[in-house]
Amino acid sequence: MTSLLKKLLAWGCITLWGSLFTACSTIDDNAADCESDFHIEYEVRLKTNLQTELQTELRNRFEDNVANLLQDSLKNIFSEFAHDIDLSFFNTNVHKLTYYVHRQMEAEQAVYTLELPVSEYNHLALANIDKEKEVDMSRGDIPSVYYLRQEKGDTIYGHSTGLFSARKRLNVEFGKSQTFEVLLSMVNCANILVVKTNGVEYKDMQVACRGFADGFYVADSVYTHNEHPVLRDYRVTKPPVEREVFYAVSFPSYDTAEEAQTDTRDDSETARLRSIWQMYVNVTMPDNTITRTTLYIDEPLSAGQIKVVYALLKDDGSVYSPNVEIGTSVEFNWREGLGPNPGI
């Protein structure tokens, strides 16, 4: 086994192999009419702050059980692994789709054979599209229409797996052995809420979040904010005693509060003007009233990253974070449909 192959297998790469082949019968044939096999090596690269966030926000607070629980819950999302792969090649001479292949993988590496006419191509690659049911993909004959769109709805669930994409210019040449390397990078992220309940009596707790992109143009690597969906957080099963743990996986947030202002039209003016995205925590009390707490986060959440918000539950059903950078507003006797706040 070559040192390159050993390295790729250790990385968990997706590898597409071939050997040089030409469809021309003589050297007088037009090279543009020839086809060549080549190698194209796909590496699923995950750059994440998962371990740093778990250490800083949880393990340093002696919340090792919660950190371990979250690490296990997110292992299939923040993973260098492709369930399926979608490959498109657009000939730059005619600006049209020339070749498309979609394969189920369920592995860290796979071997395919690919041949294309000698030309220059814009190549787009996506991983885990089949696995993710909350995101739809639009595709066509030109790169600019390749678009990932979050499922529509006022309140929807977040993603269930990591999504990866890549784009690369390829020049397939005649009579030449070639190898291309393509790095697949994560396009979604996750936010986490951990609430220490401190023995407070309550009937139920529900969490949602808002302020994240609703779509992604693959060719340009640009996120869109056309809709403003509220994402219902997943509740982690079997939480530790006196801990409630929730998470949502989504496209990233805006980079700044100024960009996000038009997307946060509710709650207190001061808090919303400085926040980029928000968490909504509904706590149903023993008398069936609901206390709604809104947490305002002014730190952007980027692709491949996670943000852990650690909070404590008070006797009145409100929650607060020890992090002084996180703003809070509370509404008692909250009922859906009253006021501008989204429901859960």
**Which tens digits make up the pLDDT trace of 42-93?**
888 899 999 999 999 999 999 999 999 999 999 989 998 889 999 999 999 9
**In whole angstroms, how far apart are CA 203 and each of 134, 197, 206, 247?**
29, 12, 10, 20
Return per-residue pLDDT of the chain as tens, 344 residues.
444 333 333 343 433 333 333 335 333 445 556 888 888 888 888 999 999 999 999 999 999 999 999 999 999 899 988 899 999 999 999 889 999 999 887 767 666 667 899 999 999 999 999 989 999 999 999 999 999 999 888 789 999 999 999 999 999 998 888 888 999 999 999 999 999 999 999 999 999 999 999 999 999 999 999 988 899 999 998 788 899 999 999 999 999 888 887 654 544 555 555 799 999 999 999 999 999 999 999 999 999 999 999 999 999 999 999 998 999 999 999 987 544 456 67
- Are 274 and 298 in contact, with CB atoms under 8 Å apart? yes
- Cβ–Cβ < 8 Å for 52, 80: no
Amino acid letter, 95? H
Q: Are 211 and 223 in contact (CB under 8 A)?
A: no
What count of residues does the chain have? 344
Identity at 157, one-letter amino acid code? Y
How many other CB atoms are found less than 10 A from the CB of residue 10? Answer: 9
Q: What angle do CA 179, 183, 189 make, to 5 degrees?
A: 170
Element (H, E) at 54: helix 50-57
Q: What is the distance between the alpha carbons of residues 25 and 227, in angstroms, rounded to a whole number?
A: 55
pLDDT for 102-120, tens place per residue? 988 776 766 666 789 999 9
CA dihedral 67, 204, 135, 337 (to 10 degrees): -140
Q: Specify the pLDDT at position 294.
A: 94
The answer to whether the Cα torsion of 281, 53, 300, 322 is positive or negative is positive
